[in-house]
Amino acid sequence: MMSENIENALNKQIRIEAESSQIYLSMACWAESKGFEGVAEFMFAQADEEREHMLRLLRYLIERGGSAVVSELSKPPSDFTSPKAMFEKVLKHEIFVSESINDLVSITFDEKDFATHNFLQWYVAEQIEEEATARNILDKINLIGDDKSGFYLFDKDVRAMIAQKPME
Ligand code: OFO
């Protein structure tokens, strides 16, 4: 049985992952509306991944005899100004998620819940990937600068990154 403290912290993270999914879904819609089809596909795939992250936590919580809570979600922003501004938001968001995972890991350590501590290591590794991907894309955007035609290749490049993501 897990402590109430851990149960609450896991439920908080479940909500964060679900909200991440909503944010990326909204980014996909924005990218689609601006003609960035590759970026849109990338964001749709990200939204699916975040839902998987949410489900993985939820199933773990149930498996350990905790009660999972499906909560309401905040409405994500819908206007992202430019690809650069959007991916800056992605990086900022993923850093926030990493911090939240770190806090969660630290609670499991304090409570000596080593099973949950072990379970969360997958998320620790995943966050390194997520932040690296966002930084990588921002580097590409900064290389393009104001070159409009560069964005055509950039869009194709980002679409190609979906396939390159390591399988889980
Ligand atoms: Fe769930 O990794 Fe992004 O937020």
pTM of the model: 0.95
CATH node for 4-164: 1.20.1260.10
The reported pLDDT for the residue numbered 1 is: 78
Contact residues of ligand 1, CB 6 A cut-off:
17, 20, 50, 53, 94, 97, 126, 130
pLDDT at 149: 87
- C-alpha distances out from residue 107 to 34, 113, 133, Å: 42, 8, 27
pLDDT at 126: 97
- Classify 69 in phi/psi space as left (phi over 0), alpha (psi -120 to 50) or beta: beta
Instruction: Looking at the CA of residue 93, tell me the nearest atom of ligand 1.
Output: 4
Q: In the chain, where are the structural domains located?
A: 4-164
Q: How far is the CA of 114 from the centre of ligand 1 (A)?
A: 22
Q: What is the largest CA-CA distance in the chain?
A: 57
The best mutation among 12, 15, 19, 20 to test binding of ligand 1, ranked by most ligand atoms within 8 Å of the C-beta, falls on: 20
Which residue's CA is minimally distant from atom 3 of ligand 1? 94
Question: Among 94, 102, 129, 131, which is best to mutate for testing ligand 1, by the most ligand atoms less than 8 A from CB?
Answer: 94
The confidence score (pLDDT) of residue 147 equals 84
Distance CA 98, CA 132 (A): 12
- Mean pLDDT per 10-residue section of the chain, whose length is 168 residues: 95 98 98 97 98 98 96 97 97 98 98 97 98 97 89 93 68
Q: Rg of the chain's alpha carbons, rounded to an integer? A: 17
